[in-house]
Amino acid sequence: MNSSLLAPLLLLAMVPLASAQAPLGARVETAPVPTSGDAADDPAIWVHPTNPSLSVVIGTDKESGLAVYDLAGNQLQFLPDGEPNNVDLRRNFVLGGQEVTLVTASDRASNRLAAYVLDPVTRTLSDVTARDITLGIEVYGSCLYQSPFTQRFYFFCTSKDGPVEQWRLFDDGSGRVNALHVRTFDVGGQCEGCVADDGTGYVFIGEETEGVWRYGAEPTAGTGRVLVDSTDGGHLEADVEGLSIYYASGGRGYLLVSSQGDNSFAVYDRQAPHAFLSSFTIVANAGNGIDGVTDCDGIDVTNLGLGSAFPGGLFVAQDGSNTGGNQNFKFLDWRDVAAAANPPLIVDSLYDPYRCPDLASFAYRDGANPPILVNQSLPRLGSSWRIDLDCSGHASGVALVFGYARPGSGIFTGAGEVLIDPQSARLFRVGAQHLGGTATFDLTVPLDLVFCGMPAHVQGSCWGAPARELSNAIDIVLGF
């Protein structure tokens, strides 16, 4: 090799990559939890529906109950109740005919699923469990999932032995929450942290000594899984602990993981194949006297702006050793996390995956195929989305369009390239007769906020002599 070419390559190899762990300082720390020792574990951020400054963070004291903190870290409530290890919430559960914030915890004291609602006025929790919902595994971590396909809510519970249980949550008819076991699968080793992506239908589970696994979150998804990152040669150091999703518009966002063994937090692309993007640590903030974070268990993040205290979103981490008292939770400004990455991460403080301020969108993706599938309107909720499939050059036959949850590429058939992932959920499939010309499809998009921001990957095929032919794809995002 010519040395004048090699020299610049060597120089490039010596430039530090973005994998260096950026040291960040917390802006706020919460009051300590009541119990001494390893007691604080997992936080969940609740966004107030009308005044984001009144948002709260719920944190577990895994020896004694749940605490509610305001954005300055003051404790608003401590609810003594069992030994809640992990906590999660959804703001759009319907209970007794009303939309409520459902909060769940995995209670190790009685090996059960605990359910609460958060009163938006008093900002306090109260129990709404319909009965003693005892699990069939020794409960440990837990997380919630709302299916973008069926809108149903599910509770995932992990265990130290490896089995994970999935339970469907529902209103028991008297305004309390009951649950039905729908699936068990075995991760293999000790699991605690988990998080579901309500947009893509995946659940991510930390196997503490091994790494992060991705499973399908639907009860029918089976046991197929993908290793997102590993403690063996990856960007994680055992134990793998808390996980959280940062949502952004258009299906964008991040998966965040607490890498307890090296006191760092890893950031991955929310979209498959979940590329590693950056990593950071939380060090003492000399400016405000808040100590750094070590031995972190649970984390949570929100992209939504929370008033003047956290206008660019909030990241929360449990701290295993709090200078000044029992363990507590540290609050970081998401803008600090975003700016420390190279290139910087998204700051999308307006997108609400449960409220849909986003515009519907579409984009063409031709692959190896002719551009014969043509977008004619935007896929807006409560409207009819029109697309045309141009089958000219074929004898009369069937024109088909089909939508899948995930895109694909690189599968070539005699009819052309397959541009959807046939392993993902099929969202629709519609046929019409074409007469050697253009077939027009009007597809109804339900008026339901749960579909807001949901991606779909649509492709068509023309039948009729001389041969079947696959079209380009249209990637859409549903919205207003």
Q: Minimum Å distance from CB 42 to Ca ion?
A: 7
Residue 27 and residue 288 in contact, taking contact as beta carbons nearer than 8 Å: yes
Residues 28-87 interacting with Ca ion (rule: CB under 5 A): 38, 41
Q: Minimum Å distance from CB 114 to Ca ion?
A: 17
Q: Minimum Å distance from CB 19 to Ca ion?
A: 24
Q: Minimum Å distance from CB 20 to Ca ion?
A: 21
Of the candidates 306, 292, 293, the residue with the CA atom closest to the CA atom of residue 241: 293
332's tokens? 């970081």
Residue 329 and residue 74 in contact, taking contact as beta carbons nearer than 8 Å: no
38's tokens? 């390893």
Q: Please, which residue, 280 or 385, has the CB nearer to Ca ion?
A: 280
Q: Please, which residue, 96 or 324, has the CB nearer to Ca ion?
A: 324
Exposure letters 64-91 (e unless 16+ CB within 10 A, then b): bbbbbbbbebebbbbbebbbbbbbbbbb
110's tokens? 């009685």
Per-residue x/- track, 306-345, Ca ion (CB under 5 A): -------------x-xxxx---------------------
How many amino acids of this chain bind Ca ion (CB under 5 A)? 10
Q: Please, which residue, 136 or 325, has the CB nearer to Ca ion?
A: 325
Give 354's contacts (C-beta < 8 A, 6+ positions apart): 90, 91, 92, 449, 450, 452
Of the candidates 69, 74, 68, 72, the residue with the CA atom closest to the CA atom of residue 28: 72
Q: Minimum Å distance from CB 260 to Ca ion?
A: 8
Q: Please, which residue, 30 or 166, has the CB nearer to Ca ion?
A: 30
Q: Please, which residue, 212 or 478, has the CB nearer to Ca ion?
A: 212
Q: Minimum Å distance from CB 189 to Ca ion?
A: 12
Using CA atoms, how far apart are residues 190 and 186, in angstroms rounded to an integer? Answer: 10
Burial, 60: exposed, middle or buried (Cβ in 10 Å; 0-12, 13-18, 19+)? Answer: buried
Per-residue x/- track, 168-207, Ca ion (CB under 5 A): ------------------------x---------------
Q: Minimum Å distance from CB 59 to Ca ion?
A: 12
Q: Please, which residue, 19 or 321, has the CB nearer to Ca ion?
A: 321
Q: Please, which residue, 82 or 397, has the CB nearer to Ca ion?
A: 82
Residues 274-303 interacting with Ca ion (rule: CB under 5 A): 291, 297
The β-bridge relationship of strands 276-283 and 22-25 is: parallel
Residues 346-375 interacting with Ca ion (rule: CB under 5 A): none
CA–CA distances in Å: residue 113 to residues 15, 130, 145, 479:
50, 11, 14, 34
Residues that bind Ca ion (CB under 5 A): 38, 41, 192, 291, 297, 319, 321-324
